[in-house]
């Protein structure tokens, strides 16, 4: 059986330890020869790399594991590259969120002005990294979940039009299905959804029982109406995430047709959401004070002890498991269904062909095969066309270094929706993103 070489770009991410544990758990399903962590921030990556050494020496000793800041070492002879970079790091996520909120609009990691600021940084860093990767591993599969995935996907589509081995994926649709399975008290793998949208902006139109074919959506609606909605891993979540999931109940009262992605709340209720966000303490602060501290403390604790001890089975990591299963589906041509980001090409019949949309796809060695949904209702079409236009204009701004296109993108974004406000926020973002954005003229 072939064993794969894998690189994680963004080795210093708080998500990495969960990945390392999941690679151990799934070592039979997805056998690896070599795993390399890469990060441009040596100091941040070091404790995670040292934690990995202890983990693998105990649980997967045959694996050739290393970590590096040298692209040549990281990218050479790879089969799969998992990309989880955060352009600008968490401190810039904090800026994105704080600046927008202080100027009166939603500041969120991937939605609204925050997402667009991050989007331009990610265009710069992702495009540069993938050119570098392709020098060393022209045929590696690049599995990207760096954010904002919608904007990154649009930029990569333009920069690498003939590269069929770049796949953009988000875990949120699967997180929602896992949460629904908790609600229904069934296994999430028995749910067979139909979904359409953009990344972080979509809806489930059906949720079939994989065994019987019954559409469970009516029952799901009933339960959410009565009991609300919780993430599958509610016990491990901060309150802000519980609120985000709980808000699905409100969305379904007003728009009962489909089950929404949790992110739709920002676009459908911007005023309400804005009034519930604290401009001086955002999700970025919560992550910096919470997950980031926790993850690095765990690594340091294991390093100090020199052994894993009880630090193995504590956290189940759905996100990492999903990404490894994506690699497995490609490696073994399994044609498993995943919700991924692909070029529309008629799958949403009344949307433009070159939109990067999120859909159920069968995934195998030749990449994703989309499952068409036909025409979507006018309301959803209206929302999505506005957003896809904003995203495309932002990527135009990147390529053309165009202030005007950026202004149009910001104005058109439903979470800004006013040209004067757009200009004010854009100008503030230009200031703090100096050196990380293309220079807009």
Which structure tokens are listed for 331?
């490696």
- Positions 172 through 191 that interact with Mn ion (CB under 5 A): 172
Q: Which does 21 bind (CB under 5 to 8 A by kind): Mn ion, ligand G6P, none?
A: none
How far apart are the C-alpha atoms of 169 and 327, rounded to whole Å? 12
Helix H or strand E encompassing 150: helix 149-159
| Integer angstrom CA distances of residue 262 from 174, 215, 267, 319 | 12, 21, 10, 16
State the minimum distance, in angstroms, from the CB of residue 298 to Mn ion: 24
Burial of 313 (0-12, 13-18, 19+ CB in 10 A): exposed
Nearest to 281 by CA among 293, 271, 272, 290: 290
Q: Residue 425: helix, strand or coil by DSSP?
A: helix
Q: Which is nearer to ligand G6P, 54 or 326 (CB)?
A: 326
Q: Identify the residue among 7, 126, 167, 170 touching Mn ion (CB under 5 A).
A: 170
End-to-end CA distance of the chain: 54
CA atoms in the 13 A half-sphere facing the CB of 302: 24
Tell me, yes or no, if 263 is annotated catalytic: yes
Which helix (H) or strand (E) segment holds residue 207: the answer is: strand 201-209
Of 39, 79, 125, 171, which one is the catalytic site residue?
171
> Least separation, in Å, of the C-beta of 398 and Mn ion?
20
Residue of minimal Cβ distance to ligand G6P: 172
Number of Cβ within 10 Å of residue 203's Cβ equals: 23
Q: Closer to ligand G6P by CB, 68 or 146: give it.
A: 146
Q: Measured from the CB atom, is 14 or 413 closer to ligand G6P?
A: 14
Which is closer to ligand G6P, CB of 188 or CB of 332?
188
Q: Minimum Å distance from CB 227 to Mn ion?
A: 25
Smallest separation, CB 378 to ligand G6P (Å)? 27
Token pair of 133 as six digits = 């990767």
Alpha carbons 200 and 281: distance in angstroms, whole number: 22
The least distance separating ligand G6P from the CB of residue 149, rounded to whole angstroms, comes to: 7
Name which of 46 and 110 has its Cβ closer to ligand G6P: 110
Residue 408 site contact among Mn ion, ligand G6P, none (CB < 5 to 8 Å, cut-off depends on kind): none
- Containing 379, the helix (H) or strand (E) segment is helix 378-400
> Which parts of this chain interact with ligand G6P (CB under 6 A)?
109, 147, 170-172, 283, 287
* Residue 283 interacts with, from ligand G6P, Mn ion, none (CB under 5-8 Å by kind): ligand G6P
**Pick from ligand G6P, Mn ion, none: which does 287 bind, CB < 5 to 8 A by kind?**
ligand G6P
Stretch in the footprint of Mn ion (CB under 5 A) among 78-86, 166-174, 382-390, 429-437: 166-174
Q: Kindly list the residues in this chain that would bind Mn ion in the complex (CB under 5 A).
A: 170, 172
**What are the catalytic residues?**
171, 263
């Amino acid at each position: 059986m072939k064993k794969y070489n894998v690189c994680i770009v963004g080795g210093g991410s708080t998500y990495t330890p969960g990945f390392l544990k999941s690679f151990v758990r799934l070592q039979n399903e997805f056998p690896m020869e070599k795993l390399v962590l890469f990060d441009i921030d040596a100091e941040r990556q070091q404790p995670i790399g040292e934690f990995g050494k202890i983990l693998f020496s105990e649980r997967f000793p045959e694996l050739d594991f290393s970590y590096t800041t040298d692209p040549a070492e990281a990218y050479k002879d790879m089969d799969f590259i998992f990309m989880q970079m955060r352009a600008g790091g968490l401190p810039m996520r904090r800026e994105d969120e704080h600046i927008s909120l202080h100027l009166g609009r939603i500041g969120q990691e991937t939605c609204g002005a925050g997402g667009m600021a991050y989007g331009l940084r990610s265009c710069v860093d992702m495009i540069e990294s993938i050119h570098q990767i392709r020098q060393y591993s022209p045929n590696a599969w690049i599995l990207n979940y760096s954010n904002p995935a919608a904007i990154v996907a649009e930029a990569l589509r333009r920069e690498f039009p003939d590269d069929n081995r770049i796949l953009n994926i988000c875990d949120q649709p699967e997180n929602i299905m896992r949460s629904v399975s908790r609600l229904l008290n069934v296994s999430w793998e028995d749910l067979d959804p139909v979904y359409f949208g953009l990344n972080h902006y979509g809806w489930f139109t059906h949720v079939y029982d994989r065994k019987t074919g019954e559409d469970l959506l009516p029952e799901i609606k009933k339960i959410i109406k009565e009991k609300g909605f919780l993430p599958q891993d509610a016990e491990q979540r901060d309150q802000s995430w519980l609120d985000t999931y709980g808000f699905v109940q409100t969305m379904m009262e007003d728009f009962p047709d489909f089950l929404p992605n949790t992110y739709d709340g920002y676009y459908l209720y911007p005023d309400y959401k804005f009034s519930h966000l604290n401009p001086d303490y955002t999700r970025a602060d919560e992550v910096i004070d919470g997950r980031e501290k926790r993850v690095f403390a765990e690594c340091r604790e294991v390093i100090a002890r020199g052994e894993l001890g009880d630090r193995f089975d504590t956290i189940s990591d759905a996100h990492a498991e999903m990404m490894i299963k994506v690699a497995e589906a490609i490696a073994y041509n399994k044609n498993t269904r995943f919700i991924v980001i692909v070029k529309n090409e008629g799958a949403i019949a009344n949307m433009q062909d070159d939109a990067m949309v999120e859909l159920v796809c069968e995934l195998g060695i030749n990449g994703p095969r989309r499952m068409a949904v036909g025409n979507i209702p006018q309301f959803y079409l209206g929302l999505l066309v506005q957003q896809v236009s904003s995203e495309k204009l932002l990527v135009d701004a990147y390529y053309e270094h165009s202030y005007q296109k950026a202004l149009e993108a910001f104005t058109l974004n439903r979470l800004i929706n006013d040209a004067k406000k757009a200009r004010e926020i854009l100008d503030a973002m230009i200031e703090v993103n100096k050196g990380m954005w293309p220079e807009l003229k």
